Amino acid sequence: MSGTKILIGIGALILGIVLITTALNYLENGSYGRDLATPVDFSESSIDIKITFYEDRLELVRAYHDSMNNEKTDSELREWIRNHDLRGFANLQYNTISGTEPHPTNAAPSCHVHVMRVRGQNDTDRKRTLGHEILHCVHGEWHPESSH
Ligand SMILES: [Zn+2]
């Protein structure tokens, strides 16, 4: 292998990127709010999406901390819940060649959405959270700056 080919091989080294995003109480400005930030665009891609529904907010919050290898006791989690309005989160994994750009030849991205179970057809808050998190699967950390 020539030196050039070795460099290309290193450049194409596939890195796994994990985005952990959260859904907090989210307010729109104007009719549609600010434009989405779209650091990745999987809108033309197949995405493997797994959804875990939780009955108990403590378990949702535990999964959130576990996803960051941040173990907490039940009492620490309950204290955290008192100060945070976590409604769901998405864990998006995709392959890149440059650190941020998805590569079309790589495997399909995978996304794990964690939300509270939708309790009925009029459970607008939880349906909205589910859509919010699936949008993270498509566009990564799409929140416009300072929109939280
Ligand atoms: Zn979000």
pLDDT in the model for residue 87: 96
- Distance in Å, CA 133 to ligand 1 centroid: 6
pLDDT in tens, 28-85: 445 788 889 988 888 888 899 999 999 999 999 999 999 999 999 999 999 999 999 9
- Distance in Å, CA 142 to ligand 1 centroid: 7
Helix (H) or strand (E) holding 96: strand 88-96
141-to-6, 59, 96 alpha-carbon distances in Å: 33, 23, 16
Instruction: Tell me which residues have their CB within 5 A of the ion that is ligand 1.
Output: 21, 23
CA distance 32 to 56: 31
- Distance in Å, CA 18 to ligand 1 centroid: 14
- Distance in Å, CA 34 to ligand 1 centroid: 14
Q: What's this model's pTM, rounded to 2 decimal places?
A: 0.74
What does DSSP assign to residue 51? E
Rg value, the chain, Cα:
18
